[in-house]
Amino acid sequence: MSRGLGRPWQLAVTAAVVVAAVWVLAAHRHTVDAGADRLAVADRAWLLAACAAALATWVCAAVAQQGAVAERLPGGRLVAAQFAACAANHVLPAGVGATAVNLRFLTRCGLPTARSATALAVKAAAGGLVRFALAVALLLASPRTPRLAPAVPRACVMLSAAGCVAVVAAGVALSRTARRGVGRAVGRVLADVRAVHVRRARACALWGGSLGFALLHAAVLIAVVRALDVPVPAAHVLLAYLVASGAAVLLPTPGGLGSLDAALVLTLTATGVPGAAALSAVFGYRLLTAWLPLFPGLLVLVLLARRSVL
């Protein structure tokens, strides 16, 4: 019965993603045409480098996910699950699609639901900390970074303050019994985190995979900018990506659709990229990291579900 119910759900998800993709492309037809025209005459070598970096992002995502789990996961299926999660992420907002796919994969691998959720939280936290550390390091290493630089500390302070207020408010609202339950849950989470970090290979996989994932996504954007022959330092483009990806989290849309695009265009223009070139660069980045892998990712998602991997 469950398998019979799964097929309509898979078809519905596939149809929803296809309709959303067609609608977005139709709504932004002129931008797509302009971006495609510029990419058509772009440097082929840099575009191939961007493609290679985009393919490697899923491997880094799989490495980071393995690092967040003490048990050994099947490598090939893990990479395939990350590829499928990329497609699912364009259906639901704020990474819910990718979270659902990875949660299902980890539970299918025999991990309890609570530990699977902890592993996903650890991976997400590591990714956020890595991006924050990279942005701070770039600001310290390049104090003359253009107008983008002053916005980073302010955004970090605002987000940190909002997080602290939310934590304090939640602590006040919880009853004593609830706080005890939360304390036990936090204890179990910390135990899982310690179990991962006492193993050097897992810790290196978690933090190295998270670092590689962020750098490779930035490398895709840098390579596309280079392909368009825009003379902007790679460090500025990297900082633009880090700031834009952080800002896009504040507006949760499926796969960052719209929010990440707008943030990338704004941050790229702030670093000195001309407006038309920034639009083309973002179009090329999204084409390689989202649109081209979308339909193959959906096929992998359906295949993994039929083979009970998900």
> 64 near 78, Cβ under 8 Å?
no
CA-CA-CA-CA dihedral for 160, 165, 166, 170, to nearest 10: 140
Please state, in angstroms and rounded to a whole number, the distance separating the CA atoms of residues 86 and 296: 10
Three-state secondary structure string covering 128-197? HHHHHHHHHHHHHHCCCCCCCCCHHHHHHHHHHHHHHHHHHHHHHHCCHHHHHHHHHHHHHHHHHHHHHH
Domain range for 260 is 2-306
Phi and psi, residue 254, nearest 5°: -55, 115
Q: Which two tokens stand for residue 157?
A: 């302070």
What is the H or E stretch that residue 296 is in?
A: helix 292-306
Q: What is the pLDDT of residue 79?
A: 94
In angstroms, the CA 254 to CA 91 distance is 6
CA atoms within 13 A on the CB side of 94: 4
pLDDT at residue 15, as a whole number: 57
Count of domains for the chain:
1
Instruction: Give CA separation, 142 vs 138, 160, 186, in Å.
Output: 6, 23, 38
What is the model's pLDDT at position 260? 77
Selection from 29, 50, 31 nearest residue 276 by Cα: 31
Reading the chain (310 residues) residue by residue, the pLDDT tens digits are 344 444 565 456 555 545 655 565 566 566 566 666 777 778 889 999 999 999 999 999 999 999 999 889 998 999 999 999 888 877 666 567 788 899 999 999 988 988 888 889 889 888 988 998 998 888 887 655 555 545 444 444 444 444 444 444 544 454 454 445 445 556 666 776 777 778 889 899 999 999 999 999 999 999 999 999 888 888 889 988 988 887 766 655 555 565 677 788 888 888 888 877 888 888 889 889 888 888 888 889 888 888 888 7
Q: What is the pTM of this model?
A: 0.77
Structure tokens at 7: 């097929």
Phi, psi of 139 (to 5 degrees): -65, -40
